[in-house]
Amino acid sequence: MNEFENIQRLIRLKRFEQPEEGFTESFLQQFHQRQREDMLRKSSVELFWERVTTWWDHLLVPKWSMATAAVAVCTMSVWMLQPAAKPAAGLTVTPVIPEKAFVPKMDLSDIPLARMAENGDATMADSLLRKHVEARPVLEGKVAPPSPSSLPTTGWQQPTLQNAAPAVQAGREGMLGK
Amino acid sequence: MDETPLSAAAAPATSLTPPAPTSSSAEDRILVDRAQAGDTRAFDDLVRKYTPKLYGLIYNMTSNREDTADLLQDVFAKAYRSIKRFMGKSSFYTWIYSIAVNMTLNFLKKRGRHHKVSLDDVDTGIENDPEFIRVTTANSGTLREVNIHELQKRLNAAMMKLSEDHRTVVTLYDVQGLQHAEISKILGVSEGTVRSRLFYAHRLLQTYLEDFVK
């Protein structure tokens, strides 16, 4: 036996609390009357708003998530559609100076040589230094490439700072902007 | 009038079985289809059919006749405005019960917990209900043994002591005779929650009405 059987039996007596005879028909008449009154009393805007809220109320479970999504979409739209910020009238506009074009500081072909220099090959280190000093001003477009006469004579020579002097000089001038 | 309390055992065993809601979904579906097509008489038939049921639901939640009539008007007005949006995913009675329960709970929140049940709120017509008389006097032989007015007062007071959520499940289950699954659909909570609320509500009511259920 259910432990609450007695109390349930007692509560069920409340189902006899029903409206009196004729209540339903009278209620229906009042319902029609009220609908007509509403149509006359309420403005079209109020009726429209009532419809909108009724429609919205029926999105029972996702109501708040829908509202949040709607607010998020509106916010994003406003943010995306707003014009770019203009400088204030009192401020002076500073012209934008374009940056210098990128100039590589090292010829990529030197990479194997650099690796050799790292391995302690002094000859190759000298060669790399010489080539760098020669190439940089030329790459930056500040001096013309050195003439063949300024380069060491034909044939392989031991590269030293002395026989690279013209090129070093040209490089220095280029770096100083002469 | 005697003050002898009603013994719950006086009610016949048949009254333990809650009345199954005569939903007749197919019939409702036809009426809804006609109402959606603009047939206002079909909607009137739905109003006629559901007014007594919803009256019982709202009255037992508010314990006030005037509030019940006003709320019932609002419920059907809202249903009428929304009938075109009813897609038939649930039965019509689940849908209309959901509207009624939600609107009544909102009303009760606005009214607040300070509302006191007055003696005037007691249904004065019930003592003349032949079925009620039959049930309450089945084993005792005379109505004099039961102070019906007192019983009603105590029942209403006990119900109003419950929280709104507990009162709602008791009304839907014990008074309206709905099943746990139907109540869970109407309230939008799990069946476990419905059972849990029912258990606590019954336990509280048993405490409040101890002298009636000895």
Predicted local distance difference test score (pLDDT) of residue B9: 38
Q: Which of A10, A28, A60 sits opposite B44 (nearest CB)?
A: A28
Predicted local distance difference test score (pLDDT) of residue B153: 83
Res A7 pLDDT > 50: yes
- Tell whether A99 lies on the interface with B, counting CB pairs under 8 A: no
The C-alpha of A7 sits at a distance from chain B's nearest C-alpha, in angstroms, of: 6
Interchain pair B175, A4: CB under 8 A: no
Q: Is B87 a member of any domain?
A: yes
The pLDDT tens digits of the residues spanning A27-47 come to: 999 999 998 888 787 777 777
Q: Does A105 or B83 have the greater pLDDT score? A: B83
From chain B, pick out residues whose CB is under 8 angstroms from the CB of A50.
81
The pLDDT tens digits of the residues spanning A125-144 come to: 677 677 767 666 655 666 56
- Tell whether B55 lies on the interface with A, counting CB pairs under 8 A: yes
Contacts 24+ apart (CB under 8 A), B200-207: B200/B166, B201/B162, B201/B166, B201/B167, B201/B169, B201/B170, B202/A4, B202/A7, B202/A8, B202/B170, B203/A4, B204/B161, B204/B162, B204/B166, B205/A7, B205/A11, B205/B158, B205/B159, B205/B162, B205/B170, B206/A4, B206/A6, B206/A7
Q: Which residues contact B78 (CB under 8 A, 6 or more apart)?
A: A54, B99, B103
From chain B, pick out residues whose CB is under 8 angstroms from the CB of A19.
51-52, 55
- Tell whether A50 lies on the interface with B, counting CB pairs under 8 A: yes
Interchain pair B81, A60: CB under 8 A: no
The C-alpha of B175 sits at a distance from chain A's nearest C-alpha, in angstroms, of: 5
From chain A, pick out residues whose CB is under 8 angstroms from the CB of B11.
9-10, 12-13
Name the residue range of residue B74's domain. Answer: 8-212
CATH value at residue B190: 1.10.1740.10
The C-alpha of B5 sits at a distance from chain A's nearest C-alpha, in angstroms, of: 12
- Over chain A, what is the mean pLDDT? 70
The ipTM of this complex is 0.71
Q: Which residue of A has its CA nearest to B95?
A: A58
- CA atoms in the 13 A half-sphere facing the CB of A16: 23
- Tell whether A24 lies on the interface with B, counting CB pairs under 8 A: yes
From chain B, pick out residues whose CB is under 8 angstroms from the CB of A14.
56, 60, 155, 159, 174-175
Interchain pair B16, A12: CB under 8 A: yes
Q: Is B174 a member of any domain?
A: yes
Predicted local distance difference test score (pLDDT) of residue A50: 74
- Tell whether A36 lies on the interface with B, counting CB pairs under 8 A: no
Number of domains in chain B: 1
Predicted local distance difference test score (pLDDT) of residue A44: 76
Low-confidence ranges of chain B (pLDDT < 70): 1-23, 113-147, 214
Predicted local distance difference test score (pLDDT) of residue B14: 36
Predicted local distance difference test score (pLDDT) of residue B31: 93
Q: Is B22 a member of any domain?
A: yes
Predicted local distance difference test score (pLDDT) of residue B125: 56
Q: Does A120 or B94 have the greater pLDDT score? A: B94
Predicted local distance difference test score (pLDDT) of residue A63: 56
Q: Which of A7, A24, A55 sits opposite B206 (nearest CB)?
A: A7
The pLDDT tens digits of the residues spanning A57-89 come to: 656 545 566 777 788 888 888 888 877 655 555
Q: Is B51 a member of any domain?
A: yes
Predicted local distance difference test score (pLDDT) of residue B2: 37
Q: Is B160 a member of any domain?
A: yes
Contacts with A, B 92-151, CB within 8 Å: 123, 125-126, 129, 131-132, 135-136, 151
Task: Specify whether the CB–CB gap between B126 and B156 falls below 8 A.
Answer: no
Predicted local distance difference test score (pLDDT) of residue B43: 94
CB pairs under 8 A between A and B: 114
Q: Which residues contact B114 (CB under 8 A, 6 or more apart)?
A: none
Q: Is B1 a member of any domain?
A: no
